[in-house]
Structure 1
Amino acid sequence: MEKSAYKIHIIGAGISGLIAAQILENHGYCPVIIEASNSVGGRVKTDVVNDYNLDHGFQVLLTSYPAAQKYLNYDALELQQFLPGATIFKNGKSQTIGDPLRSLSLLLPTLFSSVGTFSDKIKILQLNAFLKKKTLTDIFKTEEKSTLNYLQNFGFSKDMIQTFFKPFFSGIFLEPNLETSSRMFEFVYKMFGDGLAVLPKNGIQAIPNQLKNNLKTTRFQFDTSVKEVKNNLIILQDGSEIKTHFTIIATEASHLVSNLKNQETTWKSCDTLYFESKTRNIQKPIIGLIADEKALINNIFYHTSIETSAKAKQELLSVTIVKEHDLSEEKLVKKVTEDLKTYCNIFDIKFLKRYRINMALPKLTNLQYEISSTETKLTSAIFLAGDILLNGSLNAAMISGERAALGVIQTLEDGLIVDELTSEYS
């Protein structure tokens, strides 16, 4: 049976699904991606609203992600760099800190900032050196504790944790108390230290768009919702059925496979609100952190501080909220507007759009960096992919997609069930 004749279906056109398709294509197969929405990207999407690129949540790409280096063409993405630091808003004042070794403009403001003690600044250098030497394999073998406990054990002061680490990493982990595994902290911190935080000129969806455009023989079936997946059968929400040799589920699988019904992933949620502003009070391409505990808002960023393909005439401001709340959109916009005035001295803004992202990041324990292709195998014909298998990152999404596809390929090459499939579909 020709490789191209095998029916291999991938459910979900997010990063994992697209990488899985690429690996299958590289080995001569022609998969079909079934996607519930009308475009690729999954959680990595961008809308154009009023001539602004609005990402679904504030997202960045870390250039040091090994899998991203392997699968993305950075030059073609026209990546725009963030400064390696942050402007911190506290008690009605702001100050900027960062890594002066990587951006000289941050040297004086960091030296003269009141954020953290002198001891804290020494410990930052020690943490940088420690994680520079630590391998990714070692990071994910280290005993897990909460990030908060990790920072406390490292010796950082309460003020340093509250003023910098909490708002910065809460915006990444999408939870306000730094309960996230220390493995994730070390991994993300190392990735920030080894590379740059960037955004494509066309918004974050340029990443899955590039992966889609790399595919040559993959077929897409958009606006198609799957109800159930069985060994050689996919049942759609409209009741129609698709016969298949293999299925890679590159999305939440618990509601699709009967024996996973009680293993649903818990998800972290967040809100991102976009505003139009005539001016910006952070001139450089750097994130703003709100360190006041009473504030609802966590971090802000002026997307027009970096080069963008959008043709907007004013400034674009995003605001991220990770704390739980039960506010209606109207009351949320009002509260955020008040917080921006109170804590950031930001006035005269116009609300554009709110994104409530209920499934922003998986809430995971026992985080892993790697997974073998055999570990992605659920049944003889069903494989799993997605960052939920490893850790909540773009890097993990890519690795898991690659491994699931290799699992399918290995099964075929081993000839374990080829005869049975060939006779059934001949």
Structure 2
Amino acid sequence: MNKQDYKIHIIGAGVSGLIAAKVLEDNGYSAVIIEATDRAGGRVKTDIIDGYQLDRGFQVLLTAYPAAQKYLDLESLDLQEFIPGASIFKKGKQTIIGDPLRDASLLLPTLFSGIGTFSDKLKILKLNNRLKKKNLSDIFADKEASTLSYLKGLGFSAEMINDFFKPFFSGIFLENKLDTSSRMFEFVYKMFGEGYATLPKAGIEAIPKQLSQNLKSTIFKFNTKVASLKDGEVTLDDNTKLENHFTIVATDASHLISNVKNQTTRWKSCDTLYFTAESRIIRKPLIGLIPKNGALINNIFYHTSLGTTTTPNKELLSVTVIDNQNLSNEMLIERVKEELKEHCSIHSCEFIKLYNIPMALPQLSDLKYEIPPSETRLTSSIFLAGDTQLNGSLNAAMISGERAAQAVIETISGKFFSESMTSKNS
């Protein structure tokens, strides 16, 4: 059979599914991507509302991700860089801390911030140096502990943990106790240290748009839902049955395949609220943190402190809430406005949109960086992709998509891939 004669379906047009399609194309195969929504992107989407770019959840691209460097044309994304630091709102004051080795303007504010002790700042330098030398495979081979116990073990003061690490990494891990694996902490910390947190000028959806545009022979079926899967057949919601040689499931598989019914992924949720304001309380492109226990708001960010493709009339402010305390949407909006006044002295802002994001990040244990292609196989012809296979990151989504596609190619051709996303020198 010719390569083009194989019927390969990919379920889900998120980043993982798009990478799988690219790897198949690069090896002479073509896939059909079936996507339930109106466009590619999965959890990585941007809406334009009233001239404002609203990402569905506060997301950033870390330029140090090895998979991003491999699969994205970073230059053409026109990446806008965050300053490597944070603005902390505590007891009515705004204090800036950051990495003065990456941005010299942060040296004096960090030294005199009053956040953490001088000893804490030395420990941060030590941690930076240690993780710079530690490769990614070693990070994910280490014994797991909670991030909180890991930081305590390094001797950081309670104040440093509560005022910086907890609010900053809670916003990344989407949980406010720092229960997340120390492997994920080391990985993310290393990536922040070796590159920049960025946003494409056109918003986070520029990433899947670029990946989609690079596909030449892949066919997309949008607004199409899959009801069930079995070897050799994909059944759609309208009971249409599609003949199939191989399927890559790049979305939650538990409702599609009987084999994984008992392995449902648990998800972390969050809420992102967008407001307009006349002016910015944080002048530079820094994330704002609120370390107060019991506060709804975890972080704030002025998207208009970075360059955007659209030209908005006012400043655009996003607010991330990790635990909405079961408030109604109306009550959540009002309480967030009250907290913006109380903690950040933001007195006048106009609400635009609220995104409730129930499946923001997979809740995983025994986190991995890599997976051999063979381990993506569920049945003789069905393969699993997505960050749920490894760890909750864009990097993991890309690697798992690559591995699932390689597994399909290995099954067809008998040709085996060497690890192509090595982390030895990363």
SS of residue paired to 2:296? coil
Name the counterpart of 2:281: 281
- How far apart, in 2, do the equivalents of 1:362 and 1:210 lie? 24
Name the counterpart of 2:299: 299
1:238 positional shift: 1.1
Name the counterpart of 1:207: 207
Runs of 5+ in structure 1 lacking a partner?
416-426
Name the counterpart of 2:121: 121
* 1:342-357 correspondence to structure 2 within 5 Å: 342-357=342-357
1:324 positional shift: 4.2
Name the counterpart of 2:266: 266
Letter in 1 for 2:104: L
Runs of 5+ in structure 2 lacking a partner?
416-426
SS of residue paired to 2:254? coil
Letter in 1 for 2:110: T
- How far apart, in 1, do the equivalents of 2:107 and 2:117 lie? 16
Letter in 2 for 1:265: T
SS of residue paired to 2:319? strand
How far does the alpha carbon of each residue in 1:316-349 deviate from its partner, in whole angstroms, 9 at most, with x for none? 0000011241111110000000000000111110
Q: Percent identity?
A: 63
Letter in 1 for 2:334: K
Name the counterpart of 1:167: 167
- How far apart, in 2, do the equivalents of 1:11 and 1:347 lie? 45
- How far apart, in 1, do the equivalents of 2:110 and 2:325 lie? 34
- How far apart, in 1, do the equivalents of 2:309 and 2:389 lie? 34
1:219 aligns with 2:219: yes
Cα contact 2:324–2:332 (8 A) shared by 1: no
1:105 positional shift: 1.0
* 1:189-200 correspondence to structure 2 within 5 Å: 189-200=189-200
1:294 positional shift: 2.9
Name the counterpart of 2:153: 153
- How far apart, in 1, do the equivalents of 2:330 and 2:365 lie? 35
Name the counterpart of 2:144: 144
Name the counterpart of 1:406: 406
1:317 aligns with 2:317: yes
- How far apart, in 2, do the equivalents of 1:280 and 1:382 lie? 50
Name the counterpart of 1:100: 100
1:335 aligns with 2:304: no
- How far apart, in 1, do the equivalents of 2:56 and 2:324 lie? 18
1:55 aligns with 2:58: no
Letter in 2 for 1:83: I
Q: Output the TM-score relative to the length of structure 2.
A: 0.97
Letter in 2 for 1:374: S
Runs of 4+ more than 4 Å apart: none
- How far apart, in 1, do the equivalents of 2:141 and 2:227 lie? 37
- How far apart, in 2, do the equivalents of 1:178 and 1:310 lie? 36
- How far apart, in 2, do the equivalents of 1:184 and 1:323 lie? 21
Letter in 2 for 1:323: D
Name the counterpart of 2:389: 389
How far does the alpha carbon of each residue in 1:8-65 deviate from its partner, in whole angstroms, 9 at most, with x for none? 0000000000000000000111100000000000000000011000000000000000
SS of residue paired to 1:96? strand
Name the counterpart of 1:373: 373
Name the counterpart of 1:362: 362
- How far apart, in 1, do the equivalents of 2:414 and 2:265 lie? 32
Letter in 2 for 1:207: I
* 1:31-110 correspondence to structure 2 within 5 Å: 31-110=31-110
- How far apart, in 2, do the equivalents of 1:350 and 1:328 lie? 18
Alignment length (residue pairs): 416
Q: Output the TM-score relative to the length of structure 1.
A: 0.97
SS of residue paired to 2:141? coil
1:414 positional shift: 2.1
Q: CA RMSD in A?
A: 1.0
- How far apart, in 1, do the equivalents of 2:294 and 2:406 lie? 49
Letter in 2 for 1:147: T
- How far apart, in 2, do the equivalents of 1:91 and 1:346 lie? 14
- How far apart, in 1, do the equivalents of 2:380 and 2:304 lie? 49
